[in-house]
C-alpha cells in the first residue's frame, strides 16, 4: 500500500486559506494602530523596507510580517509565500519582494497597481551596495577607504555586463545553457590575501577570466546569436555597463563587498592608523542613498501611489 505523507490541497482550499489569513492581517491593524500590513520575504528584508518607508512616510505606521503559516501549518517565509497573497492585496495589505529578474522580464501584475512593492534591483542587498559605491565619506568614517568602492563596482559591472546580456538572451533561446545557478556560482568570488591591493585587482582579474571563458564558449556554441536586442532592452530598463552590479544576485555581491570590508578592517587593525569605529557592515547598512538613483526613486513612487490609494479609500 502506497501512503502519500504529503497532504494534497485543492485550489479552492488554498484560495480560502490565504484569503482568510489576509483578512486576519488587515483586521489586526486596528489593534496594532498601524496603517498598512506588509508581508516581506523574511526578517532580513525589514532592514531595507523599514528604513525606506519610515524615512519617506514618518507619519505612517507599517506592520511588517516576515513569515506566515503555510497551508500545511508551517511557519514559512520567502517570495513564494508572499505571492500566495497576491489575490487578496489592497490598500491595507501589501507585499514587498525582491525583483530577481521580474523587473527585467517585465513580469505582468508585479507593480503598485496590484499592491506589490519590488526592489527594481535583483534584491534589497544591491541597494546597500550602492551605499558603498557613492558614500565614500561614510566609508572613510569607518576607516575603510583602502578600496575605492565606486571604481571597484564600476569595473565589476563592466566585466560582468556582456555575460549578463548573454544570460538574458539565452533565457529565451536555451534556458538550460546558462541557468541562474551557474551565474551565481561564477559571481561567488574568494577574498585572497592580496584582495585589497590595487583596488581589488586580483578579484576583478579572476572575474574577468571566468567571464571570458564562458563568453567564448557561448560565442562558439551560438555563432548566429545576436544579443544586441537584449542589450538595447537593458538600456531602456536602466541597465548599462556601469550599473550592472545592481541587477545581479545581491547576496553574492553583498557578501563580496562586506568580506572585502572585513579584510580591510583586519589590515587596518594591524597599523598605527587604526581607530575604533563602527564596523564596515554597519556603515554599509546605516542608511540608504535616497533620491540618488532611479531604482530607489521608483520604489518611492510606487509607495506614494499605494498610500495615495489608501487615502482615497479612507
For 281-303, what is each residue's pLDDT tens digit?
888 888 899 999 999 999 999 99
Please say whether the beta carbons of 195 and 203 come within 8 A. yes
The band of 280, judged by pLDDT with boundaries at 50, 70 and 90, is: confident
Whole-model pTM over 0.85: yes
- The pLDDT value given to residue 6: 63
Q: Which of 78, 55, 98, 126 is nearest to 303 (CA)?
A: 55
Identify which of 52, 65, 74 has the alpha carbon closest to the alpha carbon of residue 304: 52
Helix (H, G, I), strand (E, B) or coil at 96: strand
CA atoms within 13 A on the CB side of 264: 24
Residue 304 in this model has a pLDDT that exceeds 80 = yes
pLDDT digits (tens, 9 = 90+) for 73-103: 999 999 999 999 999 999 999 999 999 999 9
Nearest Cα residue to 241 out of 180, 181, 138, 165 = 165
Give the pLDDT score at 29: 96
Give mean pLDDT, residues 146-166: 93
Of 270 and 261, the structure prediction assigns the larger pLDDT to 261
Which has the closest alpha carbon to 284: 168, 130, 77?
A: 130
Segment 217-224 shows an average pLDDT of 95
Q: How many residues does the chain have?
A: 314
pLDDT for residue 310 is more than 70 = no
**Looking at the predicted structure, is the pLDDT value of residue 1 above 50?**
no
Lowest-pLDDT range, 200-214, 241-255, 265-279?
Answer: 265-279
What does the pLDDT read at residue 272?
A: 52
Q: Please tell me the distance from the alpha carbon of residue 251 to that of residue 223, in angstroms, as a whole number.
A: 33
Query: What percentage of the chain has pLDDT greater than the value 90?
Result: 74
Amino acid at each position: 500500500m502506497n501512503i502519500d505523507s504529503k497532504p494534497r490541497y485543492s485550489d479552492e482550499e488554498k484560495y480560502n486559506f490565504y484569503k482568510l489569513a489576509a483578512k486576519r492581517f488587515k483586521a489586526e491593524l486596528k489593534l496594532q494602530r498601524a496603517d498598512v500590513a506588509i508581508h516581506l520575504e523574511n526578517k532580513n528584508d525589514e532592514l531595507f523596507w523599514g528604513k525606506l518607508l519610515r524615512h519617506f512616510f514618518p507619519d505612517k505606521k507599517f506592520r511588517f510580517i516576515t513569515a506566515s503559516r503555510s497551508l500545511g501549518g508551517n511557519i514559512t517565509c520567502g517570495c513564494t509565500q508572499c505571492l500566495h497573497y497576491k489575490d487578496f492585496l489592497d490598500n491595507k495589505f501589501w507585499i514587498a519582494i525582491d525583483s530577481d529578474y521580474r523587473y527585467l522580464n517585465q513580469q505582468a501584475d508585479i507593480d503598485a497597481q496590484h499592491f506589490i512593492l519590488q526592489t527594481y534591483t535583483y534584491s534589497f542587498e544591491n541597494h546597500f551596495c550602492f551605499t558603498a559605491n557613492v558614500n565614500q565619506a561614510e566609508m572613510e568614517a569607518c576607516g575603510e577607504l583602502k578600496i575605492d568602492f565606486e571604481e571597484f563596482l564600476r569595473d565589476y559591472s563592466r566585466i560582468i555586463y556582456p555575460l549578463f546580456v548573454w544570460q538574458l538572451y539565452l533565457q529565451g533561446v536555451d534556458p538550460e545553457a546558462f541557468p541562474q545557478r551557474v551565474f551565481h556560482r561564477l559571481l561567488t568570488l574568494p577574498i585572497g590575501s592580496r584582495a585589497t591591493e590595487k583596488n581589488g585587482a586580483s578579484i576583478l582579474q579572476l572575474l574577468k577570466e571566468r567571464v571570458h571563458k564562458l563568453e567564448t564558449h557561448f560565442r562558439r556554441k551560438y555563432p548566429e546569436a545576436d544579443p544586441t536586442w537584449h542589450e538595447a532592452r537593458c538600456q531602456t530598463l536602466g541597465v548599462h555597463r556601469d550599473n550592472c552590479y545592481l541587477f545581479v544576485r545581491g547576496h553574492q555581491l553583498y557578501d563580496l563587498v562586506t568580506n572585502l570590508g572585513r579584510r580591510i578592517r583586519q589590515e587596518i587593525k594591524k597599523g598605527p592608523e587604526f581607530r575604533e569605529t563602527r564596523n564596515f557592515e554597519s556603515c554599509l547598512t546605516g542608511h540608504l542613498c535616497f533620491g540618488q538613483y532611479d531604482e530607489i526613486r521608483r520604489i518611492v513612487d510606487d509607495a506614494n501611489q499605494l498610500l495615495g490609494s489608501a487615502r482615497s479609500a479612507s
